[in-house]
Structure 1
Amino acid sequence: MILGTLSLTNFGVYAGTQSIDLAPADRKRPIILIGGLNGSGKTSLLTAIRIALFGKRSIQFHKEQGSYERLLRRFVHDNAQGEASVALSFATYNLGEREDYGICRSWKAKSDGKVQEQFEATRNGLHDQVLTTTWDDFIDALLPASIAHLFFFDGETVGEMANAEGAQSLLRTGVSALLGIDMLDRLNEDLAFLIQKRSKESQDSETKAKLASLEQDLQDLARQKGELESEKATADEELAALTVRFTEADNRLKETGASLFLERKSLGEELQSAKTDFEAVQAELVELAAGPLPLALVPDLLADVREQDQKEQQALQSNLILDVLEQRDEQILSLLTGTPEASIKAISSFLQGDREKRKQLASEEVYLHLTPEAQELLSELDEVLKQEISKAGELVVRYEQAEERLRNAERKLAMVPPEANVADVIQQRVKVQKDVQAAMDRCTNLAKKVEQNAGIITFRQAERDRIIRRLGAAQVEGNEGARIVRYANKARTILDAFSGRVLERAISNLEELILKSLEQLLRKEDYITGLHIDRGSFALTLRYRDGQELDLDRLSAGESQLVIIAILWGLKKASGRPLPVIIDTPLGRLDSHHRDNLLQNYFPDVSHQVVLLSTDTEVVKEDLPHLQPYLDKSFALEYDSEKQVTTITQGYFHAG
């Protein structure tokens, strides 16, 4: 299946008729990237596709579960006088032959609150009345509504499911719907009903009463299930609305400065800490300045001191040896008796010149009088100053950082408003926060009740089945009803065995597919070496490289989300259905490392057609080079806040 053009007429924020081509032109480039800020109609595109394909059944994909009519009314543009429509084209291949389909679902909201809907389907450009009438059956053969959430999903929902319970629930529903286990269960139920119906004649009063009681219990439980699910849907809707209100209250808190007021204690502590750090660095600098460091400012004077000390040392040495040299020279000349006179004069002249030089050195003024210790310090001063200058550089950097931190702390504390100015805003946020927590508790309690209800239904069905099997075994031979019951019982026995084998084989295959998908996503060699899906509860257990079991809740938030995505990917592979993948908010709350894993290892390979609905903070400019080799086309949703209308333009936030 390849999605083609999606046309929206007065749908949500899309006024008039606007179209977007979702079909990739190049098989090697399966990705279609659509960018839009929050509120620009990004999610509305996914909703439009679901409504077009599934009609009334699309309501199951919405947290705001209510009536289908309410959903349609909600997505009529304000200026459309109650009329809207969505149209979608797509292509499929059957034995190598391409077939093109087109569907259009339009509706009009009447003054009495009711909604009138029309649906039309075409095949290869021609209206097809049979296809129009039997559309639900046709689309279920191609893309059953029960598994659509595995192919068209929200990245935020993946984040919410990133825990052990979420993975368990996803596996339970995915295996049942995607691999046909639910059909086997329905067949088993139908056979049980047939046995019960055919066995009524041989039932004693006690058995009849027991079966009647069980049937009544199951009916009551089914009704209770519907009520609980409806109540939970309402609670989910209330929680979503309260969450929006809390976000708004939180934003007002920041806008008014009330958030700073709430943080005033920590801001005061931060200011004190910044002052302490600043004063400590300042003291270190003062201590450093009290040492030899200032001498680094006068390198020329230090050079003069060294030169003068050298001259003084030479003068002292010359004064000490002048008298000795005169006596030595006289003795040398006296030893030259008999030597030619010219030679004696030359030697005498040399010795006298040497003494004159030394006399000149000895006449140098001596005023430093450096001690040996001072001379040693002077010789080591260059290395000491080098170390002191390096330390000073580090302290200056720390001083500037401490000073900046101190200024920021003082600035934030100065921005704290008086309590009287923000008391109402704070009180309102606290109230909404309590309401949100109460709604979350209610949703949690209702979810537990739904689970308990499902468990009781399973128990009652098993109890009823035991009685029915006992009745079937007690039937008298030769009776037509008995023959039917006998074969129905055999069929159920075979069906149970078949279901078990199908489930075992399907889960074993699914374990391999999910593990392979997870390895591609995590890109950590031998990090997770195996996984196991419990055949009864569908609980997922991972195996670490050393063979130890690794619970999903022990993984990081990013790794847990990748596990959920690996499950979705594995289920898609197991289905064997060539279906497109649409992901709203594709990167959710993932960190940069796990974002890169999805960009490079998941999006390019998950399907032959991948539609990404992203904000500008998810797929950012730096991510585009990773997607570019697989990107066929991109669009931007430009929202005009004054007209409250979104326009579809070419290029991802003007980047392509």
Structure 2
Amino acid sequence: MQYTYKELYLKNIGLYKNDVVIPLNQNLSESRNIVLSGGLNGAGKSTQMSALKIVLNGQDANCFGQQSYHGFIHDYMNTRSRLDGIKTCEIGLSIIVESGKGKADDLVIKRIYTVHSPTIVDEEVLIYYKETPRLVDSSLEEKNNFLNKIFPPKIMERFLFDADAQSKLADDKNNVELIKSFGDILNINGYIGVEKSLENLEKQILGEVADVEKSDVMILYGQIIRCEEKREKQKKELAEYERELKALDIELDHLNKWCKEVGEHSEYERLNLEQELLDCEKEKESILLSLDEYMMESIPFLLMEPLLEDASKQLIAEKDYLLQKQYQTEDKSKLERVIEVLSDEEIRSFLTEEQSTLIEIKQRSAWCCEMSGVEVAEMPIYHHYALSQLEMERLNNTLSELSRKLDSNSIAATEKVEQFMKLSKKADECQHKLKALPSDQQLGDRYLKRRQLVELREGLNRHIESAFQMIHTLEAEHTELVKTHKEMKLRLSDKQLVERKVYLSSTVRAILRDFVDVLRKEKAKEVIESFQDMFVTLLRKEGYVHNFKIDSQTFGVSFEDNLGNVVNVEKLSNGEKQIYATAMNYALGKAALHDYPVAIDTPTARFDSHHIRNVVEHYFPRAGNQVLLYSTDEEITVARKGMIQHHIATEYLLNVEPNNYEVKITNGYFS
């Protein structure tokens, strides 16, 4: 089957605003198979490449990088269209399909997107044939599956690629990408899938039939007998459990009656008595606190009363003592002043002799009186001030008030003591009643026994339920065994037919394995021949490499240099690795079951000038029956274009118009 891209249709995609139709098969012939599109960076070349990948494979296309499918479409839409309020964009591709019988038809694929946000994008896919009107009318998933069968994504990676994809293939040390591509392109994976399906079918048939022998039927019959015996045993155990449960229920009823009539009443009475006893204790504690308060209040009064009385007596004594001392001091002072006056010489000069004699007699008398007068006894003075009559009355009133408070506290304390004695008597009565009730140990024993009986009853119920379930399970097992026994008899009769099917399936699988091995080897030879042809041509080192080999299992390629040393891909330079990847893509394309167009973006990137000349001159014309090249002016220059001019069917030049920032496509190339 050969495919040729006829027209690429873009609407509101990238820099392509409104409707843009790009013919891809104008002047296309066997000798002129190249469609060359030139443009500077950012002119829309990669947009066309991405459009080809997306229209063929949708969300399975290999062009989104780290973005999601819908996010890529959102960013992929023309910016001016989105700003103008337009939400739809379209990608379409018309493909000429030529079968081996010489018949050709146009397959048209169109994807229409309605972009709401980066995460919400509605997609509609139209697929139909032009010449023979056949519309692929099914769900979106089924349409994508239909396209993926015609254009498998992994295969299309080898026909639609850029320099980065080439480098990925060149740097694939374990040949993971190569093995996937080889299996898909050569349809080896399809044969392997058929072989696996047959193997699974054999396992399924063998799992159903297994090794059915007559002895198996007898063993199954013995299992039926043992199942019946287990069922009867379980029924006997169930009857015994039910008898035990009946006796247990009688004992539990008696115990429940005692607990209700005696236990619950005693618990209620105990709670009331304990509460009453607690209240008594609280009141007693309150009385004791009150007595403590009376004592704490009376103690200062008891201590202060004698002290105040002593202070009163001391003050009175001190007052009398000070008065006597004052009178004594005043009399002596007066006497001394009189004697001093009478002794004055001036005064005595005016006195008669009799008056002087009388004064001397009086002096002697006063002296004698002073010397023999009553002396006041000395006493200690504690108070350095004298109390007035009013302060003495206040002190006496304080003493009287203290006496009254002491009498009042004594009466109140006596009343509290009487209350305390009554409460003590009441508490003794509560204690006596509590002792008459059943003890906690007795109640605990009865309740514990009741719980034990309840647990035992629950255990018996579980045993009964388990026995019922076991009987039910055994009956179901018995029914299943009987059914299986009948089926096994039938399967035993069909065993020979099944064994025949398995034998035929295993034979087909063996043939498929051998065929796949042969196919791998034959295709590996075909690939290595095409690879050697292109690799040597592009490398341009005459006699440098020879004796090419490829492993049909790992597809690892090796060859020998002019000194006989084995060279593998890891030993190649970076430029030679790009040559390796280019030659391998060419070889896989030649070995493919279908002939797909080849599209290459940045076709000469990562090649040096020497290798670029070889790639342009010898690879591009032979890459496929239709080759789409998207190049800048520095990759395929005007001079390099001249090397393949006779192979070019159509030339396009992509320019971005500065006014409206849209791509303008014109015929021709860089001048």
TM-score, normalised on structure 1? Answer: 0.54
Q: 2:163 aligns with which of 134, 155, 174?
A: 155
TM-aligned CA distance change 1:582 to 1:131, over 3 Å: farther
For 1:30-179, list aligned pairs within 5 A: 30-58=33-61, 61-62=62-63, 64-78=65-79, 79-80=81-82, 81-94=86-99, 95-110=101-116, 113-124=119-130, 127-130=133-136, 139=147, 142-163=150-171, 165=173, 168-179=175-186
How much has 1:637 moved relative to structure 2?
A: 2.1
Q: Which residue of 2 aligns with 1:8?
A: 10
How much has 1:561 moved relative to structure 2?
A: 0.8
- Read off the aligned partner of 1:86 and give its amino acid letter: I
How much has 1:83 moved relative to structure 2?
A: 0.8
Q: 1:524 aligns with which of 524, 541, 544?
A: 541
How much has 1:150 moved relative to structure 2?
A: 1.3
TM-aligned CA distance change 1:75 to 1:132, over 3 Å: farther
Secondary structure of 1:526's aligned partner: coil
How much has 1:645 moved relative to structure 2?
A: 3.1
In structure 2, distance between residues paired with 1:26 and 1:15:
27
Secondary structure of 2:622's aligned partner: coil
- Read off the aligned partner of 1:99 and give its amino acid letter: D
What count of residue pairs does the alignment treat as equivalent? 381
Q: 1:493 aligns with which of 487, 510, 523?
A: 510
2:613 is the alignment partner of 1:596: yes
In structure 2, distance between residues paired with 1:126 and 1:646:
35
How much has 1:644 moved relative to structure 2?
A: 4.3
In structure 2, distance between residues paired with 1:163 and 1:183:
27
Secondary structure of 2:650's aligned partner: strand
- Read off the aligned partner of 1:623 and give its amino acid letter: R
Asked if the contact 2:534–2:586 (Cα under 8 Å) also holds between the matched residues in 1, the reply is yes
Q: Deviations along 1:345-394, whole A, 9 cap, x unmatched?
A: xxxxxxxxxxxxxxxxxxxxxxxxxxxxxxxxxxxxxxxxxxxxxxxxxx
How much has 1:584 moved relative to structure 2?
A: 0.5
Q: Which residue of 1 aligns with 2:601?
A: 584
How much has 1:476 moved relative to structure 2?
A: 11
How much has 1:25 moved relative to structure 2?
A: 0.4
- Read off the aligned partner of 2:92 and give its amino acid letter: A
In structure 2, distance between residues paired with 1:638 and 1:196:
62
| Deviates further, 86-95 or 141-150 | 141-150
How much has 1:51 moved relative to structure 2?
A: 1.7
Secondary structure of 1:536's aligned partner: coil
In structure 2, distance between residues paired with 1:8 and 1:26:
21
How much has 1:629 moved relative to structure 2?
A: 1.9
How much has 1:620 moved relative to structure 2?
A: 1.9
RMSD over aligned CA atoms reads 2.8
For 1:427-506, list aligned pairs within 5 A: 478=495, 480-506=497-523
The share of aligned pairs that are identical, in percent, is 27
Secondary structure of 2:7's aligned partner: strand
Asked if the contact 1:198–1:482 (Cα under 8 Å) also holds between the matched residues in 2, the reply is no
In structure 1, distance between residues paired with 2:594 and 2:499:
42
Q: Deviations along 1:464-518, whole A, 9 cap, x unmatched?
A: xxxxxxxxxxx99825544444433333333222222221222122211211121
Secondary structure of 2:644's aligned partner: helix
Q: 1:569 aligns with which of 586, 590, 597?
A: 586
Secondary structure of 2:656's aligned partner: strand
For 1:229-308, list aligned pairs within 5 A: none
In structure 2, distance between residues paired with 1:131 and 1:25:
34
Secondary structure of 2:511's aligned partner: helix
How much has 1:140 moved relative to structure 2?
A: 5.2
Secondary structure of 2:57's aligned partner: helix
Q: 2:32 aligns with which of 29, 37, 40?
A: 29
How much has 1:19 moved relative to structure 2?
A: 1.9
TM-aligned CA distance change 1:123 to 1:37, over 3 Å: same
How much has 1:126 moved relative to structure 2?
A: 6.8
TM-score, normalised on structure 2? Answer: 0.53
- Read off the aligned partner of 2:630 and give its amino acid letter: L
Secondary structure of 2:584's aligned partner: helix
Q: Which residue of 1 aligns with 2:634?
A: 617
How much has 1:2 moved relative to structure 2?
A: 1.6
- Read off the aligned partner of 1:165 and give its amino acid letter: K
In structure 2, distance between residues paired with 1:141 and 1:198:
30
Asked if the contact 1:85–1:105 (Cα under 8 Å) also holds between the matched residues in 2, the reply is yes
In structure 1, distance between residues paired with 2:122 and 2:648:
40
Q: Which has the larger radius of gyration?
A: 2
- Read off the aligned partner of 1:83 and give its amino acid letter: T
Asked if the contact 1:164–1:540 (Cα under 8 Å) also holds between the matched residues in 2, the reply is no
- Read off the aligned partner of 2:41 and give its amino acid letter: N
- Read off the aligned partner of 1:200 and give its amino acid letter: G
Q: Which residue of 2 aligns with 1:472?
A: none
TM-aligned CA distance change 1:26 to 1:114, over 3 Å: closer
Asked if the contact 2:186–2:593 (Cα under 8 Å) also holds between the matched residues in 1, the reply is no
Secondary structure of 2:495's aligned partner: coil
In structure 2, distance between residues paired with 1:191 and 1:135:
28
Secondary structure of 1:150's aligned partner: coil
| Deviates further, 74-83 or 484-493 | 484-493
For 1:220-231, list aligned pairs within 5 A: none
- Read off the aligned partner of 1:53 and give its amino acid letter: L
Q: Which residue of 2 aligns with 1:544?
A: 561
Gap runs ≥5 in structure 2: 212-491
- Read off the aligned partner of 2:155 and give its amino acid letter: I
Q: Deviations along 1:145-186, whole A, 9 cap, x unmatched?
A: 3311111111232134324617x2343122200111111221
Asked if the contact 1:156–1:585 (Cα under 8 Å) also holds between the matched residues in 2, the reply is no
2:557 is the alignment partner of 1:555: no
How much has 1:520 moved relative to structure 2?
A: 2.4
